[in-house]
């Protein structure tokens, strides 16, 4: 790769500016850094109506969903500002000197956290505000003291430019270097790889497809100096349902689950894609109720033509599998694709990895199991997932303990009620699970712990007073 490519030249300028701005942001006082984050939230809200109109035109997600997303984005920015003011990125651990020889004796050691440097942030398609230019990755990196170079998503380019322009205004008004936040619009895979492998890029935050994420993760690790790659690569989010809970409330739960499967046309990384049911009459009634709830739901158009093609291809692949049957005849497609529901056996699901591939859209697969042990095998076959949901494990039994243990082993978030769509922004949140759902399962991309991704611990030994002031 050479910078003779126009995309590469733009990336060079953005990353070079970010590197130049890095010391200013890293050394900024908590109050100044927090003021930046709050200023960005205020600017976003001040142009909310115009931005939502642009976003709706580009994504078709609808004003209600998009206004809610703006509220979440502003909440995140202000929440990270609070974290900064409370000193979270500046925390240190101090061990005073102890006279004498080791192991009891020691020098004065102070463990501090230093920002990594410029972060390349790849915008997500399905959250044009909350995981884009001023979304959670940007907010958490800025809170940690790292400049951000945003790689826009081709699904909402006008919105990305508009949000970036208002952010530039905030930077200028507050006297920050322009390189604190940069924007690149390359739509090519080569451009994304170049950004990841730029020698001044210090870390990467990515939310997107498994295929694209793995390619960039490899690029980050093939550098002469590999860098952290925080990738969220998608998930099929199994939901295990015990018969007794269906006997109590099967009809209402079917309605709830149908809404979750089709929310946002199924374009959520936490959309429940696998429903594990036990052989039982209550399960049969639940499947019928779920099909009745799904069939009439009209979805909106998908975010991009490529996503629609990918969903259609996934449906054809699943529907054509010899061990899969469709549970109802779908209604005709409207603005978006008709919801789909399929069923297969645990044996087939465990044996064939193709049945465990994500269908990014309004579809799910019912997997029938004969025992708790078989349900555990299904979860183990799924491997890493962002979420796993268990309905009906309230009692402390050996079977329920086995299901919980299996769910905790494969998922970053385990739900004991409700549905996985909807991710709260708070301190206890974990959004990231074992491979292949994410590349760094010990980290989260949602919640206030997300800023820890962009800090590196350094132990200062016998440091001078001015460094510790």
Residues designated as active site: 232, 269
End-to-end CA distance of the chain: 44
Helix or strand (DSSP H, E) at 388: strand 385-391
The tokens describing 26, both together, are 């890293």
- The C-alpha atoms of residue 97 and residue 320 are separated, in whole angstroms, by 69
Beta-ladder partners of 114: 456
The tokens describing 189, both together, are 């895979």
- The C-alpha atoms of residue 417 and residue 313 are separated, in whole angstroms, by 32
Contact 360, 234 (CB under 8 A): yes
Helix or strand (DSSP H, E) at 412: strand 411-415
Contact 137, 228 (CB under 8 A): no
**Sole residue written with tokens 């429940």:** 272
The tokens describing 330, both together, are 């779908």
Cis link prior to 436 (omega < 30° from 0)? yes
Beta-ladder partners of 239: 275, 389
Beta-ladder partners of 203: 119
The tokens describing 359, both together, are 């269908």
The tokens describing 298, both together, are 């009209």
Contact 318, 359 (CB under 8 A): yes
117: DSSP letter: -
Contact 127, 69 (CB under 8 A): yes
Chain Cα centroid distance, residue 402:
28
Residue 49, number of CB atoms within 10 A of its CB: 11
Instruction: Give phi and psi for 413, each to the nearest 5.
Output: -140, 125
- Angle between helical axes of 30-46 and 63-85 (0-180°, round to 10): 170
372 by DSSP, 3-state: which? helix
337: DSSP letter: P
């Amino acid at each position: 790769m050479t910078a003779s490519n126009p995309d590469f030249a733009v990336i060079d300028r953005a990353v070079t500016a970010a590197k130049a701005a890095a010391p200013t942001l890293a050394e900024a006082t908590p109050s100044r850094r927090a003021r930046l984050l709050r200023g960005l939230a205020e600017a976003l809200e001040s142009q909310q109506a115009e931005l939502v109109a642009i976003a709706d035109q580009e994504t078709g997600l609808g004003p209600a969903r998009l206004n809610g997303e703006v509220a979440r984005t502003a909440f995140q920015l202000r929440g990270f500002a609070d974290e900064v003011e409370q000193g979270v990125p500046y925390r240190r651990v101090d061990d005073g000197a102890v006279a004498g020889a080791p192991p009891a004796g020691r020098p004065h050691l102070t463990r501090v956290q230093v920002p990594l440097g410029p972060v390349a942030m790849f915008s997500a398609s399905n959250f044009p505000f909350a995981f884009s230019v001023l979304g959670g990755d940007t907010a958490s990196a800025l809170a940690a003291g790292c400049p951000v170079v945003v790689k826009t998503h081709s699904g909402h380019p006008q919105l990305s430019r508009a949000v970036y322009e208002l952010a530039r205004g905030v930077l200028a008004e507050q006297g920050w270097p322009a390189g604190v936040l940069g924007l690149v619009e390359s739509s090519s895979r080569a451009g994304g790889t170049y950004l990841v492998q730029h020698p001044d890029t210090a870390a990467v935050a990515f939310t997107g497809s498994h295929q694209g994420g793995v390619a960039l993760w490899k690029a980050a690790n093939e550098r002469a100096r590999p860098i952290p790659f925080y990738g969220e690569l998608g998930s099929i989010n199994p939901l295990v349902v015990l018969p007794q809970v269906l006997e109590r409330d099967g009809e209402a739960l079917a309605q709830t689950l149908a809404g979750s499967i089709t929310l946002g046309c199924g374009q959520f990384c936490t959309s429940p894609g696998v429903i594990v049911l036990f052989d039982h009459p209550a399960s049969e009634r639940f499947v019928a109720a779920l099909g009745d709830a799904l069939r009439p739901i009209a979805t909106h158009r998908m975010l991009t033509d490529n996503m629609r093609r990918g969903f259609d291809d996934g449906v054809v692949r699943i529907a054509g599998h010899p061990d899969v049957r469709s549970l109802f005849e779908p209604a005709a497609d409207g603005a978006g694709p008709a919801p789909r529901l399929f069923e297969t056996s645990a044996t087939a699901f465990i044996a064939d990895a193709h049945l465990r591939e994500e269908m990014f859209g309004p579809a799910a697969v019912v997997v029938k199991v004969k025992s708790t042990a078989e349900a555990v095998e299904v979860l183990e076959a799924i491997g890493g997932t962002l979420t796993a949901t268990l309905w009906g494990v309230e009692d402390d039994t050996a079977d329920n303990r086995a299901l919980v243990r299996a769910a905790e082993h494969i998922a970053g978030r385990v739900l004991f009620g409700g549905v996985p769509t909807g991710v709260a922004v708070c301190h206890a949140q974990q959004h990231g699970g074992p491979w292949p759902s994410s590349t760094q399962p010990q980290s989260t991309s949602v919640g206030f712990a997300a800023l820890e991704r962009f800090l590196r611990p350094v132990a200062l030994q016998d440091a001078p007073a001015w460094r510790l002031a």
